[in-house]
Amino acid sequence: MNIKKLLISAAVLASCVSLSACGGNSSSEGPAGGSQNGPTTARTIKVAVGKESAEFYTKVLADYAANTPGFIHKIEVVAADTGAAADNVISDPEAAADIFTVAHDNIGKLIEANCVLPLTNEALVAQVEGDNPQSFLDVIYSKLDGVDYVYAAPYISQALVLMYNKSKVTAEQAKTFEGLMEAAVANKSEAVSVTGTDGFNFSFVTLSRKASDGSTTAKLYKDGVKNDCYFQGDDTVAAVRWAQDFFGSDNGGHFPSSAGWESDAMNNKVISVIGGAWQFKAFEDAVGSTNAGYTVLPTFTVDADDVEGTSIPEGTKFQAGSFVDCKCLMLNAYSDEDMYDTYCDIITYLSSKDIQNKSFKEANNLPAYVGATEYIETIKDTITENQYQGACAQNGMAAHGIAQPFVNSILNTYYYSKGAPEVFLNIVNNTDSAYTTLDQVRQGLYRVEHIWQKGKEPAAADIPASLPQDI
């Protein structure tokens, strides 16, 4: 325990230099440059992946172990809730897996909690830097003693898309929220369900932009700068007022019942759901695989009430947005130091293009690497229609979203955990009729932006009488 704490304290830089040296000199290669360097006694290596993919990764890691010359260790795959993985590692790192999966927005807080090691293995770093889009590279580096290091290896891409019931909604209706409401009226149901009310699931509104040119005045920690946020523009006001109308309509937006969105979709309470690939199977189980359709998030058009008092013209069309993220593999700092090179070899293998491609075909995980779209086109005749449409929908959202810009724990905490999602939800729901007028909506958006930047709500007396105003 004390040795490991030393490794991840002031001495970590020297350790990384040493590990990098041994990582660049693998002597015997397996499926992805597998190495025999390291301990000569067998160890158990725990690898945590999403529970929806555990069966696939159990198989491919068994292949790795069998086909890497001299590999003597046992690999145990842990089926995990990746949404809770970061907090679980931080709360008890010694009980956590040696290699684990997290969404990239958790990287910063794991680094600051001294729970993870940088990835200095030359082959792994070269693969990560060579394969991934710049948007992912921008969020996987962090400084250690003034030097930038890679801390995570992307291997799954994800974005919010529209999952819709094709027996209730046509492909044309699924292109717009207005079309979905039309279908919902005919079906005597609600049009669209969210799967949660947090800052991720409501990014379809917060990150919406003008459909004509993709522009938006909204800014969220631009370039990782805490105070470079803006959420008070007229376009944001119009989009939020549209959301108020949509969720206030009998046939519009839907919040999951106590039984869950899956039950609501199954029981015809809602005809479409905004969700991600990790929910595709649950959606297909709810409506039937032949009824499941997938497409990019729809557009919505603002009316006169939405734009009253703003510079936005009535009839402006907005494209719903999304965070476009990656799931990454990270290395537990409390794992055996003398296994570092072996761990890096396994991460290199799992994040390789070949395994990402197999993961897509067999487990429906969208690859994260540049060029994956072209690969999917070449195999579309060998995969199911649902797989193909789901992949196209996620890839299509890349043009309408951003990677979560939470490069450190403060930004992640301020965005998700200091009350901003609750304030935003109250605005959308017009709770207690407190967000009815234009001024009230502007005040609410000022409060959200203030939390993003300062980590707390402004005192009522400190909210400017005239808005928008810089914070």
> pLDDT, tens digit, for every residue of 285-340?
999 999 999 999 999 999 999 999 999 999 999 999 999 999 999 999 999 999 99
Is the separation of the CB atoms in 231 and 452 below 8 Å? yes
Considering the domain boundaries, does residue 471 fall inside one? no
Q: Mark whether 316 and 434 lie in a shared domain.
A: yes
Number of domains within the chain: 2
- Say how far apart CA 389 and CA 394 lie, in whole Å: 9
CA–CA dist 271, 267 (Å, integer) = 10
Q: Is residue 409 part of a domain?
A: no
Using a pLDDT cut of 90, give the percent of the chain over it: 87
Give the per-residue pLDDT at 407. Answer: 85
Among 113, 108, 115, which Cα is nearest to 142's?
108
pLDDT of residue 261: 98
> For the purposes of burial, counting CB atoms within 10 Å of the CB of 212, is it exposed (0-12), middle (13-18) or buried (19 or more)?
exposed
Note whether 440 and 357 are same-domain residues: no
Give the dihedral of Cα atoms 421, 422, 423, 429; nearest 10 deg.
Answer: 110
Q: Which of 31-45, 104-118, 405-419 has the lowest mean pLDDT?
A: 31-45
Question: Which position has the higher pLDDT, 135 or 389?
Answer: 389
Does residue 20 fall inside a structural domain? yes
Query: Do 316 and 331 lie in a common domain?
Result: no
- Quote the tokens at residue 46: 């725990």
| Residue 51: domain span | 2-157+326-387
Task: Say whether pLDDT at 30 is over 60.
Answer: no
Residue 468 placed within a domain:
no
Answer yes or no: do 313 and 380 share one domain. no
All residues at 6 or more sequence positions from 396 whose CB lies less than 8 Å from its CB, including other chains:
161, 295, 296
Strand partners, 99: 47, 331
With contact defined as beta carbons under 8 Å apart, do 201 and 195 qualify?
yes
What's the confidence (pLDDT) of residue 37? Answer: 58
Give residue 14's pLDDT band: very low, low, confident or very high (50, 70, 90). Answer: very low
The pLDDT mean for the chain works out to 92
Same structural domain for residues 41 and 131? yes
> 409-461: per-residue pLDDT in tens?
899 999 999 999 999 999 999 999 999 999 999 999 999 999 999 999 999 99
More confident residue, 6 or 428: 428
Asked if the structure places residue 128 within a domain, the reply is yes
Q: Is it the case that residue 9 has pLDDT exceeding 90?
A: no
Residue 396 lies in a domain: no
Residues 262 and 383 in one domain: no
Tell me, what CATH number does 216's domain have? 3.40.190.10
The whole-angstrom separation of Cα 58 and Cα 42 is 19
Reply yes or no on whether the pLDDT at 23 is more than 80.
no
Residue 358 gets the label, from left (phi > 0), alpha (psi -120 to 50) or beta, of alpha
In the predicted structure, residue 22 carries a pLDDT above the cut 60: no
Q: 360-392 burial string, b = 16+ CB within 10 Å, else e?
A: bbebbbbbbbeebeeebeeeeeebeebbbbbbb
Cβ distance 165 to 287 under 8 Å?
Answer: yes
**Residue 83 pLDDT > 90:** no
Q: Is residue 400 part of a domain?
A: no
Single out the residue in 364, 387, 410 at which a domain terminates: 387
- Evaluate if residue 19 carries a pLDDT over 80: no
- Are 434 and 426 in contact by the 8 Å Cβ rule? The answer is yes
| Residue 12 reports pLDDT greater than 70 | no
pLDDT greater at residue 139 or residue 175: 175
CB 423 within 8 A of CB 457: yes
8, pLDDT greater than 60 = no
Among 26-30, 128-132, 338-342, 443-447, which is the least confidently predicted range? 26-30
Residues 46 and 186 in one domain: no
Distance CA(56)–CA(41), nearest Å, equals 27
pLDDT value, residue 143? 86
